[in-house]
Structure 1
């Protein structure tokens, strides 16, 4: 089935793209059902798949970690992968590493690649850029399409932090060649190739000595007309979880809104901008499916 990999928490929130993936050998199913009418549990995949895909990471981790030891082969790797990704989404990096490191040697390039990509991002969060670059480069060679492009992009960012501009450019070009459907991802890759720096990790100097802007550099305009919405969720708890990922960019606001079908949703919004152009510039830095909306909408 198709799941969303939420690999960017606080330190990587500005890059949040929602890394979609599937585990090879497991069925990809439509959320709207199929022609035969309805789906069996086998069609839908194991319970932890459903929990992970709906953002219930704590429950997904509990289920996947509980059964992984009793499974074998691809089923075992699949459960371990979900356990590791869920742990990372919960900011439990030691647990994530415990589940994912053994999978980096998997014969399945999808499993190995996703594991290496997540571990690379953990290393990047820890400013261990040399190890991150190696892990993410490996992931980029195993993953295809937008997944491989993201791994190559972040490998390039790690090389850039090390001052290895030629290696960074090589990985950005690889990312460009792999990118397929995600237009926001393509924009980020083009920006990197043009010399636009990655989103700031913090206000201190990077390991390469390049000063990055402070993470609170987002414009805050009193009485602004526009804001950037990064998502809208069915419960306040889900909205708060998403807001925590973007806290380094300012103070996310959770605003109740009404959907077109009359349901109450909880929107996570960032910033207050005088013009739509200013808001759009900030939205491009965030990436993902963020969009500019009028304040008060």
Structure 2
């Protein structure tokens, strides 16, 4: 297991992009790293883990928060037993510096051998998550509201809608600037939707993994004062159009199954539900 350092994050993002395929499982995406980058490059590097063999990176992990490890695998390594056992051992031993003591969580793609090995080390099945996908081979209808791609000048407005979309959010203009300075943002876009009065009502960020590969929505939010008017559907559709224009093959998102409102919004924008996936968790001291 290794840590790439700030200088190695570009390679991590590139490799993650190469692992994204419509025929493969939904897993950690360059956009997930890009969204985490709002905390700065140094903190992103500290949260990143890699597992390699003979100089080739086969798995990448992101410590998303203090207690959740999100892991992606090279397509050919999804069922690699040696690799899976190493990831399980590292995740299960707090002294190895991957996950801390106490209750911790692992998110791994469907079909990964690591999901089958974790229960043997004290891990249990956790809460369900719903992945959703929309193929972008066909045109995406117009959003029906005014949607614009923003730059630094609109960052304060975008950040304000973000804060008003999620309870407890501390998102700021400074975090937007940090995110926009990150390597993954080179091919990303932040969109802002306005109502007929010109008020900012919804936001979304879309992340590319390269032409012909799935793109990601992370995050999407609707201002709490403007919910129930279809703005979530509209800004999601605008995000899908933006990704299609950039050459993405599909658009992906994953949210907690318990968040039925978010699932319904994404479905209304043409995304189809994929089979649920569950985290695994472990109580360790």
Structure 1 length-normalised TM: 0.30
Which structure is higher in strand share? 2
Structure 2 length-normalised TM: 0.31
Which structure is higher in helix share? 1
